[in-house]
Amino acid sequence: MHELSIAQNIVDIVLEHLPKEEHVSVRSVGLRLGAMAGVVPDSLEFCFGAITQGTKLQGAVLVIDHVPLTAHCNSCGTDGAIEPTLFACPACGGTSLAVLSGREMHVSDIEIAEGEEAR
C-alpha cells in the first residue's frame, strides 16, 4: 500500500544523482531491502515500473538485495539469523537481542547509460 510512496522516494533520490546531460538513462537501481522493512517486493516493483514511465528511469530494473534479519545475543554473544516472529537467540534462547540487520531500505547504487547508449 505504501509501496507507491516508497517508489517515489527512490525515484527522487535517483534523479538527484543523475548527471545533468540530456542523454542519460537509468538501466538499474540497486536497493538493499531488509526482511523486516515492511515492503512487499512485487508491489514495489509494480509501482516503480508505473511511476518511471516517461522519465529517465523508464525501463530501469529494480535490483533488490534482500538482507536477512540478524541479531547479536547480549547473553551468549552469538550473532545469527532470527525469525521475525520470535526474537530469541537460536543458540541460547536469550531474548535480549540487538538487531544487526533486517530493517534496511537503502538505495545502494545505479547503473546508467550515457550518450549513444542511452535510450
Q: Rule CB under 8 A: say whether 106 interacts with other proteins.
A: yes
Binding to other proteins (CB under 8 A) within 44-83 occurs at: none
Beta-sheet pairing, 105-114 with 97-101: unpaired
CA 23 – CA 21 distance, rounded (Å): 6
Among 51, 112, 116, 119, binds other proteins (CB under 8 A): 112
Stretch that binds other proteins, among 10-18, 50-58, 59-67, 72-80 (CB under 8 A): 10-18
- Sites of contact with other proteins (CB under 8 A): 1-2, 5-6, 9-10, 12-14, 17, 27, 31, 36-39, 84-88, 95-96, 105-114, 117
